[in-house]
Structure formats: C-alpha cells, structure tokens
Amino acid sequence: MGCECSKLCTCCWTSDFDGSVPEGQNEENEEKNEVDDLPPFIEYTIETLKMATSGFAVENIVSEHGEKAPNVVYKGKLENQRRIAVKRFNRSAWPDARQFLEEARAVGLLRNHRLANLLGCCCEGDERLLVAEYMPNDTLAKHLFHWETQPMKWAMRLRVALHLAQALEYCTSKGRALYHDLNAYRIVFDDEANPRLSCFGLMKNSRDGKSYSTNLAFTPPEYLRTGRVTPESVMYSFGTLLLDLLSGKHIPPSHALDLIRDRNIQMLTDSCLEGQFTNDDGTELVRLATRCLQYEPRERPNPKSLVVALIPLQKDSEVPSHVLMGIPDGAALLPLSPLGEACLRMDLTAMHEFIEKIGYKDDEGAATELSFQMWTNQMQETLNSKKKGDVAFRHKDFRAAIECYSQFIEVGTMVSPTVYARRSLSYLMSEMPQEALNDAVQAQVISPVWHIASYLQAASLFALGRESEAQAALKEGSTLESKRTTNA
C-alpha cells in the first residue's frame, strides 16, 4: 500500500535516488573532469608570491574580513600574467611543514572545471601559503545575501546547486570526500560568472581552527558530538546551502525544518523569486534540502544522487551564467581607451605623449621612504638625477633618461612608480623589452592597481613576442582603467 503521508515527509524518500547516472552522462562527466590549460602543481618561493601580490598589499586583499581574518587571501598576478588567489596562513596554523606539503600536493592533484583549482603552495620558514586560480566575481554570499543591482535568479540558483554537487561528486571520486566548513563564502564565480567550489576547504584542517567556523546552529549534529568531519557532514552543509539558495537568507536548519513541517514553504522562499518557478520545483528543492539535513548521517544522500536529482530541475541551461547574473562577460575585452589602443598598436610615441602629459600625479599615495637625508646633499643629488631624467625623457633622449632614472632608483631613498614607468618606456624605445618588463612589474608592485603599469607590461610582452600574455596584461590594464574611471 502506498504512503498516504504529506508530500514533504521524509519517510519514503530513502529510495528515491539510487545514485545511478543516465547512460551517456558518465562519459560526459569524464570529458569535463580534467582542465587542460592548467599547469601542474608547483612549489612557489615566497619572493615570487610577494612580487605577485605587490608585497601582500592591503589593496590586494580579497578575503571577506580583510586584514582581521586569521588567514588572509590576496589576489595576485604571476610574471606570466596568470591571476592567482594566495591564501596566507597565520604563523601557528601549520607547524608541521611536511604535513602541510603533503596535504597541498594531494589537493593539487585535483583538476576540474567545477573547482577553483589549487595551483601550488609555498612552505618557507614559518610561511604557509596556498596558490589557487583567481575567481574575479565574488562569492555566493555576496550575490545571495548582499546583492546591490539584482537578486540572483532562480535558474542561476539551481545552476549553483548543480555545479556544487558536481564539484563534490568529482572530489569524492578522487578520494577527497571531506570538505571543511562548506558555506556560501566557499563558492566563487569565475570570469564567465560560472560558480566554482574553492579548493581551500579541501585541505585537512590545521591546528589553528575548527572544521566549522560558522554558528553552531548550522553545524552538523554529529560534529557537535564527535568533533569529526565525515562525508555525511558535508551533505548536511550542502542542505544548508540549498536553504540559502531557496530563501536568499542564512536560515538555521532547525527553523527551516519547522517551517517545512508546518507546510509553510511560502515563509521559507525568497520573495524576490516570485513567479520564477513552479510549486513542484520549489517542493523538489525542499525535498532535497530536507534529505541532506536528516539527523542520522546514513539517511543523507551522496553527491552522485544529488547530481542526478538536480539535472532535471535546471532552467535556461543555454543562457550563459554571466547573462543570468547581470555581470559583464569576463572573457570579452573591454572597449580600449586611447592609451589601451596605443599599447595594442605598439604606438610607443603615443604612449610617451600620454605618460609625459600625466606627469607624477599618479604617484600620490605611493609608498615613499623619506628620512633626514631629504635635507642632505645626497638627497639633493638624487632629486637632481630625477629632474635630469625627466628632461631627457621629455626630449626623447631615452638612453640618457635610463641613466638618470637608474641613478635615482639605485639610491633608494624615494620610491616612485612613475619613474619605473618612464624608465620602462625608455627601455622599450631602446629595444630592451625584458628590462622594460621588469620595470613595469616593479611599478605595479609599488602601485598595485595602477593601469599604466599593466599597459607597459603588455607592450613589453608584445615586444618579446609573448602574445597571449600580452593580451592578458592588456585586458587587466583596461579593467583597472575602467574601474578607475568609474570611481573617479
């Protein structure tokens, strides 16, 4: 005899999803698993990561709690123009260097288009850092709880759920079923606004923190009893994320389950979603969330069965994520400004006119190291060498400009991104592109969000014949310039 209980009860759901995958789906998943254009996992030097992040500059912090976070995440850029996210742990996080390296290498073997993949790590002295792909379009928490322009559409919320389930299925298939503190801050959006799961939570927990940093109301019940994370604990956290997606708020599971038992799903659903989905679709997501939130771990589904359940729910599958999210396509190049166009054409004369015209106004706020030497003869000579360099630069005597600017830089009393930019262009004019690239990188180390430094890197890379890296630097320069214009 069939069950006569409510559609939302859980008594007869345990056999709904057997975890089998439709024929042809396995092959498709296998094809998508590997990510071809990513380099193998490597160990970076601390100097490389300092350079990439402009000396771990405050302007490059992207973690939610800024400098106050125990482990801070920075955005950065390697010399080959690959953008990276660098997680820097506090000093006590991983006292055992070997354990840290083993964990990082194991996670670094994973490569999947549903992950923000781990590219490398750094373990020098007390330093412990992870290096991952950089995702420029914020976290799920930002788009779901703190949106500014538009709430996330229903179709996109379903896509997030599916992509996350696929990420967990892949990790489980590779023997990494444990994920620490799965929450809306761990899901990030790539250039095309596709959701990805951060690889950082795949690391075994270090001694400085707990596996769950969130409020106890969101913690799996068995973790409160044993302090151990299991694959079933991850499924519980997946259920809390389904509630987040449904409600647009971070609702404690106990409160949500009370609403579900009272058949008060209306109270649970984000009012911004009105008219975007049917009752059946909403009920199905509630069913999945409730299964994930079962008190007994063994009664929760596995990632594979979640993927099977979520595929039929998908809407507007042909619409790109960036369109659903209302985000400009990160893969498309922004319209170039006159300076960007000059860089693309390698019109060094036009670039010279522009850099000469702006003078030193972009040095405002750049780091300087002034001391009592400012009043000494040595300081006067340093300033004189800069003035002579400026005169030579204005009159296009680039060899003399290089010599004078070098004298200024070598004394090291003052730090000026503009001087590095001027010497960089002088090197380009003198057919010394590698030296030009080095100076353009230094200019960005001093002034991390200065678009001219990126444009000069692009011009240097074009001159070196490194076309794809040059295009990446040009795109970054254009993005930085566009942000600067918007904020002006």
CA–CA separation, 404 vs 382, rounded Å? Answer: 9
Dihedral sign computed on CA atoms, order 168, 64, 56, 213: negative
Written in H, E and C, the secondary structure of 441-470 is HHHHHHCCCCHHHHHHHHHHHHHCCCHHHH
Backbone angles phi, psi at 275, to 5 degrees: 85, 0
CA 287 to the chain's CA centroid:
32
Residue 216 exposed, middle or buried by CB count within 10 Å (0-12, 13-18, 19+): exposed
273-278, Cβ contacts within 8 angstroms, sequence gap of 24 or more: 273/151, 273/153, 273/154, 273/157, 273/248, 276/153, 276/154, 276/155, 277/154, 277/315
> Could you tell me if 48 and 129 are in contact, meaning their C-beta atoms sit under 8 angstroms apart?
no
Written in H, E and C, the secondary structure of 54-112 is CCCCHHHECCCCHHHCCCEEEEEECCCCCEEEEEECCCCCCCCHHHHHHHHHHHHCCCC
CA–CA separation, 38 vs 35, rounded Å? Answer: 6
> Could you tell me if 171 and 238 are in contact, meaning their C-beta atoms sit under 8 angstroms apart?
no
Q: Record the tokens describing residue 150, joined without a space.
A: 């538009």
Among 313, 168, 146, CA closest to 235:
168
- CA-to-CA dists, residue 343 to 220, 416, 422, angstroms: 54, 22, 15
> Could you tell me if 133 and 119 are in contact, meaning their C-beta atoms sit under 8 angstroms apart?
yes
CA–CA separation, 333 vs 449, rounded Å? Answer: 18
Among 136, 187, 181, 141, CA closest to 161:
187
What is the CB-side half-sphere exposure of residue 57 using CA atoms within 13 A?
17
Q: Quick check: is 181 catalytic?
A: yes
Which candidate in 181, 244, 270, 363 is catalytic?
181
> Could you tell me if 81 and 461 are in contact, meaning their C-beta atoms sit under 8 angstroms apart?
yes
**CA distance between the termini of the chain:** 70
Which 8-state DSSP code applies to residue 220? -
Please give the positions annotated as active site. Answer: 181
